[in-house]
Each structure stands twice: as C-alpha cells, then as structure tokens.
Chain A
Amino acid sequence: MTGAHDAKRLRVLVTPEGLALPLTLASRGARFSALMLDLTLIVTLLVVCALMMIWIFGGVLQLDNSGRNPAMEVLSIGGIMLLFLLRYAWFTWFELGARGATPGKRALGIRVAARPDANGQGGGQGGRLTAEAVLARNLMRDVEVFIPVIFLVSGGYNAGVAGAAALLWIAVFLLFPFFNRDALRAGDLVGGTWVVEVPRVKLPEVLSVGENRSGTYRFGPAELAIYGEHELQVLEGVLRQGRPQAMRAVMETICGKIGWEAGAGDEREFLETFYSALRAHLERDLRFGKRKKDKHA
C-alpha cells in the first residue's frame, strides 16, 4: 500500500513496552500547506481585529478629540500586543497543547513530536515533548519564516550586494529541510523535534460475520495457495469500498486464476467467501510461522 516515496518517510519509534510503532514523517508539502494555512489565519485575524479597532477608534474619536485620550492609549497597547502575540506566541501556544499542533497542522493531520537521539532512545526525555523544545523550535521560526516574508514583501533584495547576501542567507533556511533525511527545518534541529503524521483511523467493520456460505463456494488448498498477503489486503480494500465494477473485475481475475467459471450477480458473496477462506488459510500458516508476502513468494 505504501509506495517507495512513502517508505522513505517511515520511521520506527520503540515505546517503553518494547513495541515498535511505525511513524510517518510529515511530507514537506503538508508542512508547507500547514504553514500557509496558519499564516492565512493569522492575517485574517489581524484584519478582523484591525477593522474592529477602527470601529471602536472612530467612536472614541467622536467622544473626545480634544487631545490625548486614555482610551486611545489602551487601543494602541492592544494593537501592539496583538501583533506581538500573533507573531511570536501563536505557534508556541498551540504546539504546547495536547495535540502538539497549530490549527494548520491539525487540518493537515500532523503534529510536533520529540525526535529520538542518536542512540535511538525515545527522545531526550523519554520521548516527551518538552516546553523548552517547542520554545526553541518556534524562536527559530522568526528568522526562518517571518523575517524572510517581511524581507521579500518589502523588496529588500533590491539593495545591491547586501540584498543578495540576505537572499542567500534566507535561501539557506528555506532549503534546509531539503538537505536532510528527516526534513528537519532549522528550528526542529535546535528544538530536537520533528513533525509526524497522526492520522485518525476509524475501525472498519468486521468482515467475517456475514452469513456462512462455505457450503456454496468450496475452495481447496490448491486454490488458496495461489495468493499471498498482499493480494488479500487488496481484496480487503475492494470489499470495504464495495464498488460493483471493481468487485466484478476482481472476481473475474480470481476465477481466471483458479480456473472457475465466473457467474453473475453474486460478486460480493463470492468475494467475501473467498476472502474469509484465504485469510483463514494464511492466518493458519502465520500461526505456524509461515508468511507468504504475495503471490510470487
């Protein structure tokens, strides 16, 4: 199911119970999208707040425009603090939460996690994501994200040699994730973190509780010996999706392989029975320590 590209992003995390948990690192694309989503949210929030402030500001001005006004001072403090918090606290605040993710990351199904150290131990403090780690990775974010954005928007790269040097400097940070195996950005390196996928998977239906039809279709050892685990899982996917054309095509393929005549109208029944029989056969072998990866094995 996982392609060669996904296999590159696969890591194994060993829990204290000694259980190997597979982890998939978030792709660079997902992380970039999450960042863009967060920046969009920040800008939207800023615009909404600015409009509200202008609205209040206008009221205050009408009340008393005779000179300095304490309400205006409160407003300007609020404005400066809002800018400050959105720039420096947004990411830290959300990543310190239970989900370890900003709204953008949540939407993309990814989160921040502690990276195991060189000995493969579960992170610096037993795999715990610490407040310091989140703080460090987000302090670096300022030079990695906000300063380049401000620089590019303000057209600072037109400033001759200094502009070119700054552009080079920014490129170092932007390209950093492309030059290491774990797609770490500079902040991940300093914080000792990485970003991983945390999909929410629903528990699918049990497949073998239907009516028992092993009387209608009887599969012998020779017929069950053709396929392996890979084909079983493909079949599982087809059954769970339940698309008639796909089921028809798969049924015809299987019947061709085992030398049966494919009937019409009872694809689902046939496939469910074949699936149960094949899984029972392969799982029995599994209990004896025999694994059959696919039909070529």
Chain B
Amino acid sequence: MELASLFRPAAMAPLPDVEAASLRSDRFRLQRELGWRRLEAIVSALERNRMRRIADDDLLALPVLYRQAASSLAVARETSLDAGTLAYLEALVRRAWFQLHGPRRTFPGWLREFLLGGWARAVRAIWLDLCIALAVMVAGTLVGWLLVARDSDWYYTLVPGNFADTRRPGATRAVLEQALAGKGDGQGLSAFATYLFSNNTGVAIMAFGLGFAFGVPSMLLLVYNMAVLGAMLWLFHGQGLTWEFAAWLSVHGTTELFAVLLSGAAGLHVGRSMAFPGTATTLDAARQAGRIAAQVMAGVVLMLVVAGLLESFARQLVEPTPARFAIGGTMLALWLAYFIFSGRRAGAWR
C-alpha cells in the first residue's frame, strides 16, 4: 500500500472554502470540483492505458462521475459565464466520452470473433464482387494467353524481368523443367517466405486501395497480374508442361490467388458502393462498405502469410506433381469450406 501511494498523482491543491466565493456560479463550481478532478485523473490514466493503476472504487465510480460532469456542464451552460470553467468542462466531458465509448473489445476478443465467423461473414457479404473479380481474373488470364499466342514479343512486354530469366519464349523443355524443380535443401527459405509475404501483401493492399476510384483501377491491376500468368501458362503449354506448371503454381497459388481475388473484390466493393449507393448517402454507403472490406482485408493479410510459407517451403521442398496438386487442392478446399460454413450461426460467438 505504501508503494502504491508513491505512484498516485500528486495530491491536488486544497480547494478554497465554498463560502469564500462571492458568486453563486463559483460556489456551484467549488462544490463539484473534486468530482471533476477525480474524473480527470481516471480519464488520464485510461488514456495512458494504465488500467491497473486505477483503483476499483474509481473504476466503479467512472460512469457516475461522467454523468455528474455532463450534468454540471449542462447546468453551467445555463447559469455560469465563467469561460474558463466551461471550456474545461467541455474538454473533460469530451475526453471522458471518448474513453467510455472507445473500442470496447480487446484485441484478443476481436480476433476471436473475427476468426470464428466475422471474416467468413464479411467474405460472403461481398459475393457479387467476388464473382465479378473472378470473371475479371479469368478474362485477364485469357487475354495474356491470347496476346502471347498471336505474337510472342508480347511476352517481354507483359512478364516482368525477374520472371523472364530462363523462362522465355524459345526456351527448351529441359530449361523450363529446371525452373519448376524444387531446391532440395531448406537454406534461406524462411527469409524468402518473409519477402514473399511482405511483397504480396503490399500488392494486395494496393489492389484494395485503388478500388476507391469506383473499382476500375483494382480490376485493371487484376487483369495485368493475371495476364502475366496467362503468358507464362502459354509458354509452359508450348513445351507440354501444362500439368507440371499448374501443380507448381497450385501449391501456393490456390491460397495466394484467392487472397488476391479477395483484395480485388474488397476494393471493388468499396468502389461499387460509392458509385451505386442505393438509398443510402454516398458517405454512409462508403462507410458500410469500408467496414466489410476492412475485415476481408485483415484476413487477406493472414492468407498471404500462409501463401508465403507455402511458396517458399512447400513448393521448394516438395517436387512430385501429384503431391504438389494435393497440397494446393487441400488448401483450396480448406479455404472454401471455411468461407462457406464458418459463422453461419449468427451471434453464436458474440
């Protein structure tokens, strides 16, 4: 107890005697000032996240003190012309209001609600945007394929330099097979996973953010990224390696492309809601869409962590085509099952 008292805020200066004040409004203030100061001390501790430093009595008294301060403010506005006191009370009530009405859930609580249904519900809520984004992605792949099939020079325009190392038009089957092979040993793979995760998350967040302009740039980004894939698919198809390439891609691709699909759809959802707000105002529509899209995006970050691990470890260490397909297919099935079935019992985890 002795130690605890050391950490208490310094004792307040003693208040002047209430009767000493000649003005009625100042007597009003002096009678209530202790309560205001107590509220101020509690609110300051809350703002500094020092929940433990607050005595139980104080925490219990908080709602009462808040209401007293609020009613003091209401009365003072009608009876007092002391600008300093009014400004103090307004600031105090506002600060207390923000603390009483701050985020109620703790982070673990939010995460639990999010993983056990909130995320899947958000994903299901944007099903129409998912369909549109999926169609756009398929179209992008086709465009990439067709462009390169007509004129292989397109390959160099579409595919960024780091992918077009040995995997270029005219490469022999052996060279392409080599590109699909695993690495065998596990050296440097966790750094690779981290790099992939941070890079892919950056792209996904950009795809989401670009959705602001009515979703058009998000879709363009999807088309471009999938066109690269289409072009590479054409290249491997030309040497009869379609299945091997698909297996190589599916290990992480089912997770990563799913995440890209979700982020594009989330961006499109925001853009679409602003372009066609329906009966709500544009601002309210954007706000509602933003809340759903933010949940989807929080999940996308998680998915990309998984995708990064799969891409660096599983793809490099697992070589046989059927095994690669098994990993990719299992992941896809898991994600689909999760999004379709999770959180169906509304409110079960509230």
Contacts and interface: CB of A to CB of B under 8 A. Distances in A.
A206 B30 contact: yes
B79 A283 contact: yes
A286 B24 CA distance: 12
A126 interface: yes
A143 B84 CA distance: 43
B91 A200 contact: yes
Nearest to B94: A21
Contact of A96 (B70, B107, B284, B297): B107
A115 B281 CA distance: 14
A90 B302 CA distance: 18
Contacts of B25: 279, 283
Nearest to A239: B84
Contact of A77 (B191, B288, B290): B191
Contacts, number: 212
Interface string B280-298: 1101101111111111011
A132 to B, nearest CB: 4
Contacts of B280: 118
Interface string B174-208: 00000000000001101100110110011001101
A141 B190 CA distance: 29
B99 interface: yes
A240 B210 CA distance: 52
Interface of B: 16, 20-26, 29-30, 33, 36-37, 46-49, 67, 70-71, 73-74, 78-85, 87-88, 90-95, 97-99, 101-105, 107, 110, 187-188, 190-191, 194-195, 197-198, 201-202, 205-206, 208-210, 212-213, 217, 270, 280-281, 283-284, 286-295, 297-298
CB-based closest 5 A-B pairs: A192-B287, A143-B209, A190-B290, A136-B294, A204-B84
30 contacts: A76-B194, A84-B198, A87-B202, A88-B201, A96-B107, A98-B48, A98-B102, A99-B47, A118-B281, A130-B291, A131-B107, A132-B290, A132-B294, A133-B290, A135-B295, A140-B212, A172-B213, A189-B286, A189-B290, A192-B287, A198-B91, A202-B88, A204-B84, A206-B21, A206-B26, A214-B22, A233-B81, A237-B83, A240-B84, A283-B80
Interface of A: 1, 13, 15, 17, 19, 21-23, 68, 73, 76-77, 80-81, 83-84, 87-88, 96-100, 111, 113, 115, 117-118, 124, 126-133, 135-137, 139-140, 142-144, 147, 169, 172, 186, 189-192, 198-204, 206-209, 212, 214, 229, 232-233, 236-237, 240, 276, 279-280, 282-283, 286-287
